[in-house]
Structure 1
């Protein structure tokens, strides 16, 4: 995905999903300045998606029957592997524990999922993951050419689930980003995103419904998700890893 002004066709598609204020040239320019300056914490954009689309997406994620438990540990500095959950708590190199949707294909194709939920999930995946238009917006923030596909997963958290501190310094990775999609989330449920700069300054982000958080990838910085404390699964999130074009 090349850098430059967004085409009219991309703007037209993005307007279908994103709050128009985030398409204004001065807003995109300010976000590019934030990313380029290389200091500070994550940047959160409240009310990022159109309200009706975000609500429909949150309802679909709450209703899906395909959530499975996932636990991973580190092998080396950034490489991880999945492990049985019973091995995770006592493991010295634990990385993450939460739920994932498996199989993703069933979420968008199975007749067991209501058609309105399949439709909104297909629309989101086509817009954010497989299509060029959202990445055109992100390329303007990063100020660099981007790979045409992103690494992606939907997650939710159970009581005590969390992600340990890590840096995401993987070759080519430009940005991590989260869409927070839990329309029943309350601040008392925890699961906040923490980001520590190289100089030790901490920044904390609430996973508020329909906010979009961009997490910079920088030497010496770490980020993590504190334990989720809700009694029911929550903190529904779409996680993206965006890469520069080689």
Structure 2
């Protein structure tokens, strides 16, 4: 349990810091969530047409995947420096860098999901008179959702972590508090902001997992089928 003067003694765990800096922490969390959400949403909107292009035009698959992979290998400081002349010291600079980093995960998972759609499902839909647009939205996209949402989960957790790098230009959400705490050797601030960052990543992953299960109920049914068969087999063996 922290002491009342824990901020004076600079302890790692300090209840007084939580009470006195509550609004600062809330503002940092809100900024962190806003930057992360914007980056992931924009990333999905860009990755989806890129994955469609790579799927319909195999000649573009290599360049698209190669370019997104190269972008992911660029160090964050170098990425922000390259984008600085375009966006200046702003939240847009951080969001754009995070969008570019998310593309390698989102494009690959979306493309993998679309490619995994059974050809017989496409042929059956075409036989029922489905055009390309209806085929995509009513057949291919629902079947590709598990892989697509898995990519969104990975990209979101990765973006929560990378957002902290924005602290170098004072748009890093919780990362700004971590960096300021390190500069001033303020232990409670460093620990609290770090724990909140971890909790934010875990909460985002759990929420997206719940969304994935809600949107793809057939995956739960298919995963339960082997267990049901095993139980039926065991019961039959016991009664034999």
Query: Which of the five TM-score ranges fits, normalised by the shorter chain?
Result: under 0.3
Q: TM-score, normalised by structure 1?
A: 0.22
- Bigger RCO (CA 8 Å, 6+ sep): 1
Instruction: Answer 1 or 2: which has greater helix percent.
Output: 2
Q: Which has the larger radius of gyration?
A: 2
Instruction: Answer 1 or 2: which has greater strand percent.
Output: 1
